[in-house]
Amino acid sequence: MKMLCFIFLAQVMTSPADPIRLDAETRLDRINSRRATVAGSAELIRLDHMRDWLPKGYVEKALDDAISQGDRHPLNRAIAQWLKHRNALTYFDTKTASSTRTKLGLLNQFSYSIGAAPHPLSDYESGSWTHVPASESTGLMRVGAFVSEVESRKVTLLTDLSVDSETTGVLRFGYGQEIKIWLNGDLMFRSNEPHDAWLDQHGVVIRLRTGRNRLMVELTDPNQRWTFIARVTDAQGQRLPMTHARPVEAKVPESVDGPLTDGPVIPWTVFSKTLKIDPPDVDSLVDLAWYSYASKLPNADRTLIQVALSGAFDARPDAETLHAWTLILDSDRAAQVRQQYAQTAGQRGQLAHQLHVQTALIWDHIFERRLNLAWPLANNLNRRFKNSGPVQRLWALLHEDLGWVQSAALLAQRAADDRLRQGLSKTISSTLQNAGWLHHEIAHLRDAVKMNLATEDQRLRLALIERRRGHFGLADELVSKMVTMKPELWRHQLIAVDALLEQGRYEKALVLLDKLEKIAPDHSAWVEPRIDALLELGRLSDAKALTKRMEPRLDAETSDRLHLAVNLSHPKPKLGPPTSALIDTPCDGPIAKVLHHHARTDLNDDGRATRWIRRVIKICDRVGADRYSSLDIYHAPNSQALDIHIARLLRKQDSKTAVRSGRSLSDPDNRIYFDLRAETLSFDGVQPDDIIEVVWQLRDTVPHPAMPGHYGEIAYLQEEIPRAMSVLEFSSSQKRKLHIGIEAKGLKIVRSPEQLVLYDVPPVQLQNRGPGVTNRFAYVHLSTQEKWASVDELYTTLLGKRAKPTPELVNLARSQVDGTMSTKQKIEALYQLVAGQIRYVGLEYGIHSFQPAYASETLNRGYGDCKDKAVLLLALLEAVGIDGQFALVRTRSSGPLRRTPASLSAFDHAIIYIPSLDRFMDPTVADFDPWTLPANDQGATALIIGSKELTQIPFMKASQQQDAWTLDFKWSNGLAAGTAALTTRGQPATELRRALLQPNQHAQNANQWLSRILPNHVFKQYEVEGVDPVEDPVTVLGQIQPLPDRQTSKRDPLLVGLAPWNLVDQWAPEALRNGPLIIPHKYRRTVTYRISHDRKTRFKTDFKRRIETRFGFFSGELKQTSTRLEVHLNVSISATEVSRQEYREFRAWLAEIDAVLTTQIGVRNDAI
């Protein structure tokens, strides 16, 4: 590969003429000279392959010239027509597509029936057949676009062909997968060789009777695409005069006998003859490769052609042959061939083929993420072929792939002159989109549509943008034109349907759905939105009838969802006043204001809940416009149905609909997997004074996965912006009483039996290190459980025997301990096994969100979440006779809850409790000491299963979470040399352990910790303990020295603390707080240092200080002898929460300590 790079780089020279244009000129000459042969059509295919990189109209003129030549072989001319037709379809040139289809004689008037073909002589019954939608442009039938969810892999097509007099012709056709063809009841052709459909792949001689002839085609396709293309010609390929229409008459005409044409010309037969030439004809084999590539022939096995092209390459190892050979290989094999031969053959032959080989090789590197190889090759290629379209595209997309999206957009735009515009149009679109240049992207897409250079994806993208900008008419026109020309794209119009439903324009949505049902009556995609519209209009009986009628076309999940929606449907509740009554509410200062928040929960007998939520938000300034331009709605698709009824932006008399998108909440990078998804509603161009209204229904489709029949939920009554009015309604069933707990101090609440109404709800300002969620926000806890004892009992049932040790677990546990160990040591050994060897993977979906796996299952698979690891540790402990209990935890960041009611929804974590030691353990992560609890566990609320009541997990003592430094050194000119020892426990030990375990950063991170207490110094050498195995303390002991390049022109002073400790910045950085400060854990730091010196040196300061507060204490003492100064420093923070009123005092205490620690120690002479 290095040699290949050298060769490419060695060829840097003045940019030659465009090699593609030069090759095109060669193709034009050969197109003309080979016009009388079928094989000459390969030249047309090769020219068309260059279409994107030639001047606009260049290829079209060449194809028109070929079509107009009377002495061109009819099949050669047909391929010219087909290439022109296909391009017209790609760019939605309706006039050209219709004209070329007519000239080719492509059949498009078919009816279809799902399933195997009936008896070939059976009568036609219109009720059993459906028209295949087709426009004047349709030449390739795609039946699968109009059918969904059928068991059969077969579909049957029917059409009637009419001629003025009895004649012989050739039925030329292409298909995918398997086919059978009957004419007037006679089987004419059958094949099970799979391939994609293309023009004139096969041909069969037929005898047509005068008048009507019935053509029946059975297509078998496991993928249910059912593609078919056909026309009728004479033996040479001239279109046969005839008409065709969908069947009307019932009877199948009788077949006729007569003379048949011998040996009709079939393109594949002509091209494949070259396989038999010996010695091989390289040019003919190259033609074969191009035709095979374009026509999708032969079937999936191209071995003979691949072997033949390999031989051709041996005979003529140049770039043209290599290009042809790789065309018919799968992508992996093609990349291998290029890697092997590009450095030699890629430098021979015409520049256009060299360019292709080199460009393809670079793409191989990019796809395999070998960007270090791709970049220099692409850079050189860009310098060598500055005006080449493929190179410009490659260069722009490589910049985009490297994350330089702005540069990519600029490169694509600069390259997009008229000559290259068609080839780079999609590249420009994607780079502008990724760069976020929306206005440039819109201008480009509109220009592309106007010039007939926009593909389906580009037109659809423009339609979506126009819709988001409120230009519904433009968007609908774009999509409607696409569907009119290509009815198989009908599903794109469902976007307009969704928008109408979200706007509440249900009648208009039904009008459009009527049209879509006529296009695709056997497809299910239109069914669900139609049922939604019917239910919104109160037409329940029509919705039920439609669900029953279309059930055979629905997949099981959709069918269940729709049946549930229809059967559980009830009138939408009244969710507050109309929007018109709210819009004049003033903002009064905030970035945005909730004018009305309405949440209603209806509980069924089986514990399933139906929730209605309405939010009306007024945007007050530009910050609010940015922040509230999108809204996330969370739901679990496997157990809940989300229906968004209204999602709109109101501005005076205008209305815009939200653009919907979805994303999973799983985080694979951190190994956390949820069944929750976020449905995101995005509003474009939000401005101050806009009103956003969203109404949605969230319906449980199955009972609670862990506790069927039970319900629990926490609803928050406040947020970061004020609410003018907030309403919470709830209704329980006769069998399931709802218990309600309200925590809303200081709020104005009007309460009735099934409703809470709050007025003028203030916002909650969030600050770093603030209290848990329930400490900050007012909330309501709804549950069918009143006491925690019932949750305890239910969860005991849920655990079952999952923590019982199997023989395998017993053997494993006993192998980890021995009789000399204490109980505490045995627990530690088994903890290390679970925490260290079982990977943490969060599995929060379905019942596993609540119920752990069996201990043996977690062990065998080697991973699990907090519940799984807790159960495994309990099983191992039981195996060696140690009792432990499972504990559900509501972490400190979530905040505490009222004692009533009780529900499983309160908890977000699980650990274990050891009764004999009265200690909690958390085996979730691997780098904590067995007895160190993560900060979020300390002070958290727990339900120890079996205790039947809530408890608080104790905070670890400050002495258990400390870092202690001991230093002995000589001090000279502001620099120290000697030894340093660091001993850490608890949270500091975990932090240090993680730092030392980072790959290739061991020394760097050790020195970083040293710099906290002694800047400008590093460890010369050191030893570490406590990292592996994971156990506290973690110690670092070693010799220290100044940084090698440390130069001091002025002596650094000696400070009491050696360096500023910056306690204020670390623990209380804000000057003021609007709420309590949460201290994550208690903490202690001790520093002892001893400075050796000669007898002539005396320090001016003796020092002893102690500062005690309710937050903790500080002590410091300096002692000196004739040859040594000894300093002892100790800071201990024992508080875990500082109220807003106490915060100034707490900060002042830290500032006083900082001042003491930065006091300079005076020296009498310059000896140190």
Mean pLDDT of the chain: 86
Query: 603: pLDDT confidence band, cut at 50, 70 and 90?
Result: confident
Class of the CATH-defined domain 790-954: alpha beta
Total residues found in the chain within this entry = 1168
Query: 1134: pLDDT confidence band, cut at 50, 70 and 90?
Result: very high
Alpha carbon 832 to chain centroid, angstroms? 35
* All structural domains of the chain with their residue ranges: 105-264, 388-454, 461-567, 579-784, 790-954, 959-1157
Torsion of CA 541, 547, 549, 552, to 10 degrees: -170
Torsion of CA 315, 321, 322, 326, to 10 degrees: -120
Cis check: omega of the bond before 708, within 30 degrees of 0 = no
Instruction: Please tell me the distance from the alpha carbon of residue 9 to that of residue 346, in angstroms, as a whole number.
Output: 14
Query: What distances in angstroms separate CA 773 from CA 124, 934, 1135, one per listed residue?
Result: 70, 18, 20
pLDDT of 821 reads: 92
Query: 1097: pLDDT confidence band, cut at 50, 70 and 90?
Result: low
With residue 215 as reference, give the H or E element that holds it: strand 211-220
Contact 1107, 1113 (CB under 8 A): yes
pLDDT of 343 reads: 80
Contact 624, 688 (CB under 8 A): yes
Token reading at 932: 């160190």
Query: 983: pLDDT confidence band, cut at 50, 70 and 90?
Result: very high
For residue 1096, count other CB atoms closer than 10 A to its CB: 10
Q: Give 887-898 as a DSSP string.
A: EEEE-GGG----
Exposed / middle / buried, residue 403 (Cβ in 10 Å: 0-12, 13-18, 19+): exposed
Contact 179, 229 (CB under 8 A): no
For residue 581, count other CB atoms closer than 10 A to its CB: 11
Instruction: Provide the CB-side half-sphere exposure for 412 (13 A, CA).
Output: 31
Contact 140, 175 (CB under 8 A): no
Instruction: Report angle CA 511, 515, 520 to the nearest 5 degrees.
Output: 140
Same topology between domain 579-784 and domain 790-954 = no
Instruction: Report angle CA 323, 329, 331 to the nearest 5 degrees.
Output: 95
CA nearest to 299, candidates 369, 393, 196: 196
Contact 761, 596 (CB under 8 A): no
In this structure, of 228-232, 311-315, 536-540, 1083-1087, the range with the lowest mean pLDDT score is 536-540
Contact 337, 317 (CB under 8 A): no
Instruction: Please tell me the distance from the alpha carbon of residue 707 to that of residue 717, in angstroms, as a whole number.
Output: 26
CA nearest to 947, candidates 898, 913, 981, 921: 913
Cis check: omega of the bond before 901, within 30 degrees of 0 = yes
Exposed / middle / buried, residue 570 (Cβ in 10 Å: 0-12, 13-18, 19+): exposed
Instruction: Please tell me the distance from the alpha carbon of residue 104 to that of residue 140, in angstroms, as a whole number.
Output: 12
Token reading at 52: 């994107």
pLDDT of 419 reads: 42
Cis check: omega of the bond before 763, within 30 degrees of 0 = no
Instruction: Please tell me the distance from the alpha carbon of residue 212 to that of residue 221, in angstroms, as a whole number.
Output: 29
pLDDT of 86 reads: 93
With residue 680 as reference, give the H or E element that holds it: strand 677-682
pLDDT of 702 reads: 79
Any idea which residue has 């009720």 for tokens? 127
Give percent of the chain above pLDDT 70. 91
pLDDT of 652 reads: 67
In this structure, of 5-19, 72-86, 495-509, the range with the lowest mean pLDDT score is 5-19
Backbone φ and ψ of 992, nearest 5°: -65, -40
Query: 1164: pLDDT confidence band, cut at 50, 70 and 90?
Result: low
Mean pLDDT, rounded, for 105-120? 93
In this structure, of 287-301, 783-797, 1052-1066, the range with the lowest mean pLDDT score is 287-301
Contact 168, 259 (CB under 8 A): yes
Give percent of the chain above pLDDT 90. 45
- Three-state SS for 540-583 is HHHHHHHHHHHHHHCCHHHHHHHHHHHHCCCCCCCCCCCHHHCC
- Three-state SS for 948-997 is CCEEECCCCCHHHCEEEEEEEEEEECCEEEEEEEEEECHHHHHHHHHHHH
Provide the residue type at 697 as one letter.
Q
CA nearest to 764, candidates 792, 737, 745, 787: 745
Query: 357: pLDDT confidence band, cut at 50, 70 and 90?
Result: confident
In this structure, of 508-512, 584-588, 1161-1165, the range with the lowest mean pLDDT score is 1161-1165
Res 975 pLDDT > 80: no
Query: 769: pLDDT confidence band, cut at 50, 70 and 90?
Result: confident
CATH of domain 105-264: 2.60.120
Contact 92, 216 (CB under 8 A): no
Provide the residue type at 370 as one letter.
R
CATH of domain 461-567: 1.25.40.10
Contact 113, 129 (CB under 8 A): yes
Query: 847: pLDDT confidence band, cut at 50, 70 and 90?
Result: low
Identify the DSSP state of 902. B
Any idea which residue has 């300390």 for tokens? 938
Mean pLDDT, rounded, for 761-789? 89
Res 196 pLDDT > 90: no
Contact 718, 763 (CB under 8 A): yes
Any idea which residue has 């290509």 for tokens? 486
Q: Which architecture does CATH list for 959-1157?
A: Sandwich (2.60)
- 16: CB partners within 8 A, 6+ apart: 351, 384, 385
Backbone φ and ψ of 454, nearest 5°: -95, 130
β strands within 236-383, DSSP E: 243-245
CA nearest to 4, candidates 288, 441, 390, 343: 343
Instruction: Please tell me the distance from the alpha carbon of residue 933 to that of residue 928, in angstroms, as a whole number.
Output: 8
Res 724 pLDDT > 90: yes
β strands within 683-816, DSSP E: 691-700, 712-716, 723-731, 739-743, 748-752, 755-761, 779-783
Q: Give 482-528 as a DSSP string.
A: HHHH-GGGGGGGHHHHHHHHHTT-HHHHHHHHHHHHHH-TB-STTHH
Q: Give 1147-1166 as a DSSP string.
A: HHHHHHHHHHHTPBPPBSSS
pLDDT of 669 reads: 62
Segment 830-839, tens digit of pLDDT = 999 999 888 8
Helix (H, G, I), strand (E, B) or coil at 75: helix
Identify the DSSP state of 143. G
For residue 1101, count other CB atoms closer than 10 A to its CB: 14
pLDDT of 706 reads: 66
Bridge partners of 191, per DSSP, are: 179
For residue 13, count other CB atoms closer than 10 A to its CB: 8
Class of the CATH-defined domain 579-784: mainly beta
Q: Give 1004-1025 as a DSSP string.
A: HHHHHHHHHHSTTEEEEEEEEE
Mean pLDDT, rounded, for 1028-1055? 80
Mean pLDDT, rounded, for 75-85? 94
In this structure, of 180-194, 361-375, 888-902, 1090-1104, the range with the lowest mean pLDDT score is 1090-1104
Bridge partners of 596, per DSSP, are: 616
pLDDT of 8 reads: 31
Exposed / middle / buried, residue 822 (Cβ in 10 Å: 0-12, 13-18, 19+): exposed
Provide the residue type at 305 as one letter.
I
Contact 487, 134 (CB under 8 A): yes
Range with top average pLDDT, 268-282, 301-315, 420-434, 786-800:
786-800
